[in-house]
Amino acid sequence: MRKFLRIGKIISLHGIKGEVKIFPTTDDVKRFDELKEFYILKDEDAEDEAFNDAETYEPQGVKYIKNTCILKIKGFDKIEDSNKFVGSNIYVDRTNAVELKNNEYYIVDLIGFKCYKDDALIGNVKDIMKTKANSILVVDYNKKDLLIPMVSDFIENVDIDNSIIKIKTIEGLI
C-alpha cells in the first residue's frame, strides 16, 4: 500500500495573488477544507521514495468554482511564485487522508489486485473508471478490457490483505 495519495492536479494559475486551480482526483472535493499539509510533485504516480526529500506545503485558503478548487499556498503570493507548480500533482500522507466508510477503497490500493470468479483467475485490475452512477473496475482479461461495475451485484468480496477481488457475473459479461 502506498503511503502517499494523490488528491489533485494543478491545472492552472488563478488570479494574480499566486493561487492555483486544482482538478480534484478525490471523491470528496471538500476534503481540501481539512487540508493541513501536502506535497507537490510533478510525477503522477510518485512512489513513496519520491517523498523522502520532498518539501511540505501548507494551505492558506481554499475556495471552489464548479468542479475545481482554488488553493492559496502559504508563502506563495505572486503568479511568479506559483507558476512552477502548474502541471504538478498534490499528494497527502495516508495518515492525513479522508477516512473511508465501509466498502470504500482508495483507487491506488486496488490497482494490480487479482480478480477471481469462483476459483478461476479472470485477470488483474489495471484501472478504475469513475462514473456518476458508480465506479467500474477495468480488468485485463485475455489482453482485453473487462469492465465490471463496483456494485454488490457484481462484487462478492474485496480482500485487501491478499490483494484479491472476487466477482459475480451475469450471462454474457465474460
pLDDT of residue 173: 64
Q: What is the pTM of this model?
A: 0.78
State how far the alpha carbon of 73 is from the alpha carbons of 14, 81, 131, in Å: 12, 10, 30
pLDDT, mean of each 10-residue run, the chain (174 residues): 90 94 87 91 85 92 92 95 95 85 83 92 90 88 90 90 88 66
State how far the alpha carbon of 35 is from the alpha carbons of 3, 23, 87, 124, in Å: 16, 15, 20, 33
The verdict on residue 102 lying in a domain is no
The verdict on residue 86 lying in a domain is yes
Q: Which of 82, 113, 88, 76 is nearest to 25 (CA)?
A: 88
Answer with the one of 61, 96, 131 that is the final residue of a domain: 96
Answer with the one of 48, 65, 96 that is the final residue of a domain: 96
The single-letter DSSP state of residue 98 is: P
Same domain for 44 and 75, yes or no, is: yes
